[in-house]
Amino acid sequence: MSCVSIYRPSLAVLDEPATIPFPRLFGNLKTRNAASDSALNRARLVHENRQCPCCNSVAIDPMELNDFHLNGAGKPIPGTATIVAFHCNRCLHEWPVQS
């Protein structure tokens, strides 16, 4: 015979939810939505500036600040730095980000 006892609440307590609350393991949804919005805004920004305004070349590099996030090993995570300008590799023209 088992030693486990079964808990049965009284009928008056059954109006409360019968689920057990568990803590979230992966953060809250606001943090994840903010991160996905940031990635979406970055992709939109790169897409809008995909051609040089002077020579229409597509050889463009974003110029970023050194405010990137670090992973567990202390290395920068690509795509997390703030883009401040763009640089054309063909005519060497640079232009600021216009949001």
Give 9-47 as a DSSP string. --GGGGGS--PPP---SS--HHHHHHHHHHHHHHHHHHH
Write out pLDDT tens, residues 25-61.
555 555 555 666 788 889 999 999 999 999 999 999 9
**Spans of all domains in the chain:** 54-99
> Each residue of 3-17: pLDDT tens digit?
776 666 665 555 666
pTM of the model: 0.60
Residue 57: what pLDDT?
A: 95
